[in-house]
A and B are shown apart, each in its own frame.
Chain A
Amino acid sequence: MNREEARLELDATTLRPQDASSEARAMLEGDAELAAWHAKRTAFDESVAEAFAAAIPAGLRESILQNAKRPAKRPVRWMMPALISAAAACIAGAWLLLWPVNGEMPAWQAESLAAVVQVEHGMMKLDDRAPDLEAVKKLLAATSSPSPQRLPGTLGGLPTFGCKRIRIAGRPATIICFKIEGGEAHLVVMDNARLNSAPPQMKPQFQTSKNWHMATWSDGSQTFLLATSASEQALKKLFGLT
């Protein structure tokens, strides 16, 4: 640091001497002429700083605080999560309104219907895709999964989308998805050994819950649930009842 650099730094720190570097302060101590100039400059700066007193307008502080209490756009920070939560609540509410499973159903039926609803809405993907029941049966046989030995009415001849392997009431089960008039029908098949509240043999029980129509029956060692969100008439037609 040369003398001129020290002078500039000392000039910039007359009112805040703590900001001056030790090098500049050392030069000040060893240079009488620089010290005299600095003392005079400091006196001038102190007198100016003292005179630098503009009156503060009355109420400025209060109006600053008042204005800041209503920063118009700031709620956006919490508004977005709130909107998302509200939308999620609406969706959940609508879902609950349409959720067909209820406490009056036997456990195996409630589980079966819940799985069917998830498959229909794409929340559960099919394991295999196949165009007809014979192809589906081959796929199921390959994995020893439950496969219908016999089906009522016209159901066996309908085109299929594929199948899904699941577990119902702690046992293996299969969902087979058929294409029917006005939508889809989903058949759940499982072994009924020690199954509580299994439906009667060979007598389909028809039920409706929310916008779902279903039929349940047993056939030998197998129990079935066939459910659709298409019309009740379309369901009954599958059993040759219309």
Chain B
Amino acid sequence: MELALQFGIELPETRPIPRRVTDSVPSFEQIVDAHYQGLYRFALSMCKREATAKDLVQQTFLQWARKGHTLRDATKVKTWLFTTLYREWLSIARREKKFEEVEFEPDLHGSTQNEDDGENPRVDSATLQTALEQLDPNYRAPLVLFYLKELSYRDIAETLGIPIGTVMSRLSRAKDSLRTILRRMEDSAASHIIPLTTS
């Protein structure tokens, strides 16, 4: 319901997913209802194509239908789904050579605090998508997962297969970059406004 309030979308009614290892895994339909929207948003942000994003989500749930029963910890369903989707996307991106692994830059770790004066830029859905597309996938992936609010930074690290420290530093740098891009877009839009004059 929290997600519905944030995005202004009415989600299907869902039953809570068990939180203990000893609890049984919820039904397939319950899992779909709980996660398909978040997965789709993550997929669309990564691949930028609606049809591919739909395929990625479909493929992820098909994998779940076939292999989900091997998951012993019911609390890991969400992480499993996002991890699977990310790996599916990686394999597609690598086939299309749109993704290159970027090594973590230790010298940048923890040294990313930009000058943060001024107001926060205004943001809407369209400008946000445009801005996200300008980010390197290595930064875009943790940032999108962060804004989805589905996963903790620890879960994001597990999903992307990178250390927790790397997630933190990439998030920080990605937010700085996003802010800069949004402000630049805002400035650019403002410079194209023709002031109205009265005669």
- Interface contact B40-A57, CB-CB below 8 Å: yes
A150 to chain B, nearest CB (A): 69
Complex Cα–Cα for A50 and B8 (A): 9
A27-68 interface with B by 8 A CB criterion: 37, 40-41, 43-45, 47-54, 56-57, 60-61, 63-65, 67-68
Known: A7-B113, A9-B168, A57-B50. A52 touches B179 (CB 8 A): no
CB neighbours (8 Å) of B146 from chain A are: 12, 15, 45
Chain A residues with CB under 8 A of B65: 68, 71, 74
Residue A16 at the B interface, CB < 8 A? yes
B149 within 8 A of A: yes
Question: Contacts of A51 on B, CB cut-off 8 Å?
Answer: 123-125, 127-128
A61 touches B168 (CB 8 A): no
What are 11 A-B interface contacts by the 8 Å CB criterion? A19-B153, A44-B179, A49-B149, A50-B7, A52-B7, A54-B40, A54-B45, A56-B36, A63-B54, A64-B32, A68-B65
Q: Is B91's beta carbon under 8 Å from chain A?
A: no
Task: Tell me which residues across on chain A come within 8 A of B148, comparing CB atoms.
Answer: 52
Which partner residue on chain A sits nearest B165 by CB separation? A8
Known: A5-B110, A44-B120, A63-B58. A53 touches B153 (CB 8 A): no
Residues of chain B having any CB pair with chain A under 8 Å: 6-9, 12, 28-29, 32-33, 36-37, 40-41, 44-45, 50, 54, 57-58, 61-62, 64-66, 110, 113, 116, 120-125, 127-129, 144, 146-149, 152-154, 165, 167-169, 171-172, 175, 178-179
A91 to B29, CA, bound (A): 42
Verify if A120 is at the interface (C-beta below 8 Å from B). no
Contact partners of A44 in chain B: CB under 8 A: 120-121, 175, 179
Taking a contact as CB atoms closer than 8 A, the residue among A9, A47, A54 that contacts B41 in the complex is A54
Whole-angstrom distance from the CB of A181 to the nearest CB of chain B?
60
- Which of A43, A60, A64 interacts with B120 by CB under 8 Å? A43
Question: In the complex, A71 Cα to B80 Cα: how many Å?
Answer: 19
A56 touches which one: B29, B37, B149, B153 (CB < 8 A)?
A: B37
A116 to B64 CA separation, bound complex (whole angstroms):
55
Contact of A74 among B66, B113, B120, B129 (CB under 8 A): B66
| A4 interfacial by beta-carbon distance below 8 Å | yes
Given A68-B28, A71-B66, do A8 and B50 touch, yes or no (CB 8 Å)?
Answer: no
